[in-house]
A and B are shown apart, each in its own frame.
Chain A
Amino acid sequence: MAVLEQTPPAVTPQPAPTGPKKGLRKYWHLYAAISPFYLIFLGFGLFPVGFSLYLSFHRWDGLGSMEWAGLSQYQYLLSDSDFWNSIGNTVVIWALATFPMIFLAMVTAVMLNSAVRFKGLYRVAYFLPNVTSVVAIAIVFGSIFSTNAGMVNAVLNAVGIDQVAWLNTPWGIKVTIAALMTWQWTGYNAIIFLAGLQTIPGDLYEAARMDGAGPIQTFFRITLPLLRPTLLFVLVVSTVTGLQSFSEPQVLLQTSSNDSTFAGGPGHSGQTMVLYFFQQTFDNNDFGYGAAVAWGIFLVVVLFSIINWRLVQRRGD
C-alpha cells in the first residue's frame, strides 16, 4: 500500500493529481478518513429517515407486527385537534419569546457597540445563560414562577397586584416558557448582533452625522439594513430551535398533569409539537402515528423558515 502513497513529485498545489487508470484504490486512505461520519449516518441517519417515512404509513406499537395503514395516519393527523392545539401552543410561545428577544438583543448589541469598557466582561455575563442546561434553567424558573414561593408573585404582591398561578393557567404557562427562552437566548443573540455591528464601517456613521441624521434615523437607514444578514441568521436559528422546543415545557410541566409527563400542563396548554410527538410515540406506543407527527413537525418548521426568509429579504429592499 505504501507504494500507492507515493504521489509523483508535486509541484502543483493539487495534493492528489487524478491518475486516470489507477482506480479508486489510490484514494483508499481518504475514503477511510471520512468514513466514520457516513457509517454513523447510514445507521442512525439515512436509515432512520427512510424508515420513519415507511413507518408513517403503518400501524405499529413497537413490539408486534406492522400493519399497512396507507394514508390514514396522515388523514388522522390533519383532523387531530390535539396536534393542532400543539401547533398553536408552539407558535404562540415562539412568538412570545422571539420578538421581545430580538428587540432586546438588538438594543443590547447597539449599546455594547458604543460602550468601550468592560465589553469582554458583559459578553461573558450575557453568554452564561446560554451554556447552562435547559433542565437546570427550567427547574430554577419553575421556582421563580411558583405560585406560593416564587419571586415573581412576591414582586407582584409588593406592588399590589394579585398573584398569578403562572404554571396553572393557559397564558401563564406560555408566558413562563417564553420568559425562560428569552432569558436564555437574548444574550447569545446580542453577541451575534454585536459581531454584525462591528462589520459596519465607521465612516458610514460619520457621513450620516455630517448629513444631520439623528440616532434613530441612523439606526433605521444604516444599521438595520446592513444588519440584515445577521438578522436573518438569528431569525432562522430562533425559528428552528424555538419551534422544536421540548426540554423547557417538559421539565417545567412534567408533574402538573396526571395523564402523561409529556402532556404540557393543565389542559395541554403548554404542550408543544415535539412534546406531543413524544407523548404519542413513547407514552401511547403509537410508533406509526408518531412518525407521521414527526413529518408534520418537519413541514411546519420548513414552512416557517421559508416565511421568515421571505419577510426579512423583502423588508430590506
Chain B
Amino acid sequence: MASIKESRTSIKGSRRRGIALHLPLIVSTLISAFPFYWAVIMSTHSSSEIFSYPPKLLPGTHFLENVRNLFDAVDFFGSMWNSLLVAVSVTFLVLLFDSLAAFVFAKFEFPGKGLLFGLLMLIFMVPAQLSVIPQFVVMAKIGWIGSMTALIVPAAANAFGIFWMRQYMKTAIHDELLDASRLDGANFLRQYWHVALPVVRPGLAFLGIFTFMGQWNDFAWPLIALTNPNNVTLQVALSQLNGTHGTTDYGIVMTGALLALIPLLIVFAIGAKQIIGDLAKGAVRG
C-alpha cells in the first residue's frame, strides 16, 4: 500500500503511511454515507426523472412537490405524533422504572434478591417471537390493540436497562454517600432522588437515547398491534407508502424516509459520543 504514493518522496514516510491508511477509511465512509445521499437525490426528483436512464446523481428541483404529495398520501404529522408519543413515554418510563430497580439491585440487600435478579437475567434471553401471539391475544382481550398503549406498556421496563444500569450504579454511587444521607435521615426515595440520580446522569443519558432510538425505529410489533391503518407510527406509515402503489413512487417514499430520520438524527447528534463509547465499553467488558 505504501508504495503507491511514490511521488511524495520529500515528505516523511509517516505521512505516506497516513494517506495509505486514510484512503480506505475514507472510501468506507463514503459507502456508509452513500444511501443517505441517494435518498436525498431521489427525494428531489419526480417519478419520471427517477425512472429515466442514467440514474440521477445530482439533486433535482421537485423536493417541495414530493413533500406536498407525501402529506397528501399519508397522515405524516399524525404518525409522527404517535411515534413521538410512544418513544417519549417509553423513554421516560424506562428511565424511571429501570433506574429504580437498578438502584435497589445495586445497593440494597433483601430476601429473594438473588432469585429475582437471576429471573431478570433469564427473561433477558427469551426471544421476542415467543411472546408475540400471547401478547396480541391478551391485548385484544383488554382492548389495547390498535392503540398506542399496546406499544407503550410492554416496553415500559426492560431487563437490559436494569442490568446495564445496575452495573453502572455499582461503581458510580459510593456507599459512604448513601450511609451519610441515611444518618441525615433520608428515606429510600430521597436517597434515590438526591444521591443516586445526580451521580448517574451520564448513564441515564445513554439509556435514554438508546431507548428513544429503539422505540422510534421499532417496526415488527407496531405493524401487528396497530390494526387501524389510519392510526399508526411513522415506520408503519412509511412501509404502507412503500407498498400501496403498484410501482413505488420513490420520490415520495424517500422524502418520507428522510423526514422521519430528522428527529432521530437530532437525538443521535446529542448523544453520539456517549452512545458509541458506552456501547463499546460494555461489549468488551461482557
- A positions within 8 Å CB-CB of B: 2, 5, 7, 9-10, 13-16, 18, 24, 27, 29-31, 33-34, 36-38, 40-41, 43-49, 51-52, 55, 62, 104, 107-108, 111-112, 114-118, 120, 122-129, 131-144, 146, 148-151, 154, 158, 183, 186-187, 191-192, 194-196, 199, 229-230, 233-234, 240, 244, 246-247, 250-251, 254-255, 261, 274, 277-278, 281-282, 287, 290-291, 294-295, 297-298, 301
Contacts and interface: CB of A to CB of B under 8 A. Distances in A.
A285 to B, nearest CB: 11
Contacts of A112: 25
B109 A134 contact: no
A9 to B, nearest CB: 7
A250 B242 CA distance: 11
B129 A277 contact: yes
A196 B284 contact: yes
Given A15-B178, A125-B29, A294-B133, 13 more contacts: A30-B110, A40-B154, A48-B133, A49-B134, A62-B137, A112-B25, A127-B272, A128-B33, A132-B261, A146-B250, A244-B129, A251-B239, A287-B133
Interface on chain B toward A: helix, strand, loop, or mixed SS? helix
Nearest to A123: B276
B110 A31 contact: yes
Contacts, number: 281
A143 B254 contact: yes
Nearest to B174: A13
A33 B120 CA distance: 14
Contacts of A247: 219-220
Interface stretch (B5-13, B61-69, B179-187, B198-206): B179-187
A137 B35 contact: yes
A297 B101 contact: no
A142 B25 contact: no
A255 B248 CA distance: 9
A278 B133 CA distance: 9
Nearest to A187: B32
Contacts of A132: 36, 217, 261, 264
Interface string B122-163: 010011111111110110100000000000011011110010
A39 to B, nearest CB: 8
Contacts of B272: 124, 127
Contacts of A33: 100-101, 103-104, 188, 192
Contacts of A24: 111
Interface in B239-276: 239, 242-243, 246, 248, 250, 253-254, 257-258, 260-261, 264, 268, 272-273, 275-276
